[in-house]
Structures are given as structure tokens and as C-alpha cells.
Chains A and B, each alone.
Chain A
Amino acid sequence: MAVKAQAQPMVSDRSSLGTLRQVLAPIGQILIFVIGGSLLLGTIVVMLALALQAGQANLLNGVVSVLPLVIIDGLVLGFLYATIALGYTLVYGVLEFINFAHGEIYMVGAFVGGGLGIWLASQGLLATMHPLIFVVIAVFVAMLASGLLAVGIERFAYRPLRGAPRLVPLISAIGVSLVLQDLVRLIAGPARFNLRYPTLNLGGRIPLFEMSTAAGTNLRVSIDNQSLIFIITSLLMLVALNYLINVTKLGKAIRAVAQDRPTASLMGINVNLIIALTFFVGGALGGGAGVLFGIKYSTVNPYIGFIAGLKAFTAAVLGGIGNITGAMVGGIVLGLLEAFVSTYLTLFTNGRLSGPDYASVASFLILIGILVFRPSGLLGEAATQKV
């Protein structure tokens, strides 16, 4: 008797390598956009400097010497937008609804982290702990608080409106964001309207490399600890999110719910629970971003969520809303662009135009451009990472 051939390998035994690839591939994509974006924008400003050099002495030197700082600033901004943008994109992916209160969820995270710092300082605990421990605790607490807040908002402001026309929950979201702004303002009171994060002794700048400029001077490039913490923590959050979405059963359930709600419930998936969890994850990322922002820029106020939210929304649209890698890439691209405009517009116009004022203009021009010419976003429909 012939033995039944068992040619095919067991299906599930060849997955761990694939898993690693799934988790790291989006990070690779981010890296490509980080390097590509920096190179492209760097080349553009150097070319511009060469073209304009006749009029201004030492322009090229000035342009090159600030370039590394601009890139670092751009990355910090970029990761800020990316982590917030993920909240928009996750929720949009699952509900096709833009959670306009997400900016405020981020803001609340920033206040929770700052409040925690102030409280720890008042108890004399902050001085005794390693500043990095504080960073970790603050990020976790804020993630938890913002995540729960997002779940609460979904439960009471969006879920009851689920069958309604799309405009209705949108208006509810705007209402929630106004309420949150004023609520935080009320709780913080006038004294803490501008909430100052406690100063953390994170040590000096970390040297990265040296380069010699055309003028013959040696330029030491270094990064401040706050920026480094910002970039590393947000990268960790992005890797964790990719793992969650692509590898875990929960992540697959989130994607299943995003793709077909009734059929997901036929699989035994509790759709409402998964939607709540999606809000939790998105809110937690926003809250974490809030703390990182507070640590980097030291003061926060109840209105920081508005512009940051709009920018992050722009980033999400830029990358293709509903697309996870897209949100990350869109954030990076937008952050770099803003940092470049902000510094170099001033430099090139000799101070006649103030760069920082025009940085947002550049972002929103991009939003309009994308909506008009490429509504599916930078990565477009071909993107594989749609929720």
C-alpha cells in the first residue's frame, strides 16, 4: 500500500520569520522616508543656497551648518505627528469616521503627564528617581488615561450615533473637543493654564558626528536628550502597534472588524468591544505623544491639541487615511517639511518672511493639494497596510 504523501509542510510552522518581517517592514518604510526626505529637502536647500549665494555672503555655510539640527527638529515633529496621526487612522480604518476630538485626547495626555510630574515633585519623589524612570511612568500613565478617555468618548458620544448620518458623529466630536478644552482649562485653573513640566536632569547633548564645512570650520553635530527620547519612544510605540495589528489575534480582529463588521460578528468577534479597544489603542498613542511633547517643549496648554490635531490629521490624509504605515510616513514627511520651511524660509528671505509662521501654511497647502490631486494619499491604494 502506498503511504499517503505528506509533501506540504505544516502551514503554521513557517511564520516566525514572516512575523518579524511584518513588524519591521513598516519601520523600514519609515526609514526610507526619513532618509529620502532629509536628502531631498537637504539637496533642495543647498541648491537654493548656491543659486542665491551671489546676493548673500556665507549663505551656503549658514545653510549647511544648521542642516543637521533642522533634520532632527523635523524628525521630532514628524514622530509627534505620526503618533497622533495613528489615532485618526486607526479609528477611521474601523469606523470610517474622523475622530476630531483626538487632538484633545493628546492634549489631555500631555496634562496628565505634566500633572503627574508636578505631583511627584511636590512629594519629593521626582528628585529621587532616575529621570528616565519618570519618563517611562509618565508615558504609561498618560497612555492609560488617554486610552480610557477615548473609550469613554466612544461609548457616550459616538456609539449612540452609530446609525446616524455621518455628519452627526462628526459634530458630536467637535462638541467633545470643545468640552475637553474647557474642562482641562477649568481643572488646571489660571495658575496652571500654561502647565510647566518639571525640569528633568537628562544630561547634556549627545555628540553624533563632526563634519567640516566649506568655510573650514569644524561643526559638531549633537542631539539633545529630549529629542532622542522622543524619537526612540515613538519608534517603540510604532513597532508595538505594528506587532499588535499584524501579529496578534486582537490585531487581526481589529482588521476583520474594519473590513466587514457583520461578518466579523459571525466569527464570534464582539464588534463593540473591538471598536472600544481600537479607540483605546489610538487614544493611548495620542496620550504618549502628549507626554513626549511636554518633555521636549516643557510647557503645554489646553489648546495644543487643536493645531497638533489638524497637522496630524493632515499627516494621516497625506499617507492615505485608514493606512497605518501611511500615517507614520505622512507624519515624518510633514514634520521634515515644516522644519525645513520654518528655518530656511527665514534664512533665504533674509528675515523678511518668518519661517515658523509659514510652516503651517505649507502643511495645509499640502493637505489641500493631496485632497485635490491624490485623495488616496502618498502610498495610495497599493498600500498593503490598510487596517
Chain B
Amino acid sequence: MALLELQNVHTFYGNIHALKGISLAVNEGEIVTLIGSNGAGKSTTLRTISGLLSPRQGQVLLNEKRIDTLPSHEIVKLGISQSPEGRRIFPRLTVLENLEMGAYIHSRRDPQYRADLERVLDLFPRLRERVSQKGGTLSGGEQQMLAIGRALMSRPRILLLDEPSMGLAPILVDQIFRIVQDINKQGTTILLVEQNALMALGVAHRGYVLQTGQILLSDSAKSLSQNEMVQKAYLGMD
């Protein structure tokens, strides 16, 4: 039984038909990656899952219950959290306040809140040094860490990551992917959207290849990285 499932999802921006019948599943404990070129519909898929967009057709199921009719702030409460494309840090809130907003659905008196905060600051020690700095003044990499940390603060069962490696130095990319694996080992299911298909397939268990709003391929990460078409189109190999 899949934890998260999309069945024949069609999403539109006005007249633009961005998702043309996406079906995919993410099982408990997995890292699943969604790869595809620019404009393929990866971010749209995540926005549809989070309820920022509602599908015109098809459904999104969490534990076999429909969630596509719920507003996004309700979906977070069910255990789906997203680190969105472009980080979207609250620029005039401090690092600590950004993290607090990540834990918005929990009470601040919740003893677990402290533990979550410590866990995130242990994962990203650079954030610990900057707790009272304004989010907008962090470097790009630090903002990325904050975005991931903030998404973790809601204690999600499933974490949606939209291009966590974008704009990062190679060393940081390695570090981020290692952290993604750590988070997964600590029990969080992950749906990972990436341009960096090589890295993504390196950490994921399974993957889907998306093209112009449709699923082109789906397989284990290993088979995908050996697939000739994938190698040509997404891994830059000839």
C-alpha cells in the first residue's frame, strides 16, 4: 500500500495544461525521485500534492484517503511538508522565526518542538550560528538548508523537496544529498525533484521521468541510471 499516490492527475494554469494524467506512488520509507527537463511539470506535481494547486481531474491520495480537495494548510497537518522551489525563505523573519513557522502546526509548548529544533540545528550547524540573522541575509546555500530544516519542523511523514541542490557549490551538493539520506534513514519518506539527475538517482530507491506533463518512465533508480535514454537526456552521457 502506497503512502502517497497520484492517480491520473491533470493540473492546469488557466488554459495551460501542465500535468496531463500523472500517476505515481511513493511507499513508506522510500526516497523517490522525479526527474525531467525544464518545464516538464515537476514543481507543478509537488504543488498539486501540497494543495497549492488543485487538479482538474484525477486524485491525490494519502494513505488511500483523498487529499486533493483540501486546502494546503490542512494538508501539512496530515504529514506532507514541502521545501519549495527557490527556497522561499521568509526574508524578514529570522532563521529561528522561519523554523518556528515550519512548526506552525505544533504548539510551541509541545516538548517535541525543542527536540525538533535541536535536530534541525544539528543537521545544519551553520544555521545554529545564525539563528537570529534575518532569512533574507543568508547565502543561497544557507537558505537552502533553512528551507529543508523548516520543512522538517512540521515533523512530516513525507517530505517533498524541490531542487534542493539548485545553485549550490559541489561540496554543498554532496552534503545536502547526504543529509537527505540521513533524514530518510531517520524515518521520513522523501519525494525528491531534481535537475541533478545523477545525484538524485544516486540516493533514490526509485524514480520517475517526467516529460511535458506526462510520466515517460518509471523504474528503480539503478535501472533508470543505466537506461540509455535517461543517460542521454538527463545524465549528459553520450
Contact = CB atoms under 8 A, between A and B. Distances in A.
Contact of A268 (B73, B96, B132): B73
B37 to A, nearest CB: 24
Contact of A256 (B77, B81, B93): B93
A189 to B, nearest CB: 45
A6 to B, nearest CB: 10
A122 B66 CA distance: 59
B126 interface: no
A299 B92 CA distance: 42
Contact of B88 (A8, A249, A260, A268): A260
- Size range of the chain B interface in the assembly: 20 to 34
Contact of B71 (A12, A252, A259, A265): A265
A323 B112 CA distance: 34
Contacts of B121: 11
A34 B40 CA distance: 58
B114 interface: yes
A11 B73 CA distance: 27
A386 B134 CA distance: 12
Interface residues of A, number: 24
B96 A11 contact: yes
Nearest to B81: A266
Interface string A242-274: 000000010011011001101111111111000
B50 A266 contact: yes
A268 B100 contact: no
Contact of B84 (A10, A249, A263): A263
A8 B121 CA distance: 11
A266 B82 CA distance: 7
Interface of A is mostly: helix
A265 B73 contact: yes
Interface string B89-118: 011110011001110110010000010011
Contacts of A267: 73, 76, 101-102, 104-105, 150, 154
A256 B100 CA distance: 11
Nearest to A271: B73
A263 B82 CA distance: 9
Contacts of B235: none
B97 A12 contact: no
A140 to B, nearest CB: 27
B104 A259 contact: no
Interface of B: 50-52, 71-73, 76-77, 81-82, 84, 88, 90-93, 96-97, 100-102, 104-105, 108, 114, 117-118, 121, 128, 131-132, 150, 154
9 contacts: A11-B96, A249-B104, A252-B93, A253-B104, A255-B92, A259-B90, A267-B76, A267-B101, A267-B102
> Would you list the 9 A-B pairs with minimal beta carbon distance, nearest first?
A268-B76, A268-B105, A263-B88, A265-B72, A267-B104, A259-B90, A268-B104, A267-B101, A270-B73
Given A11-B118, A267-B101, 4 more contacts: A262-B52, A263-B88, A265-B72, A267-B154
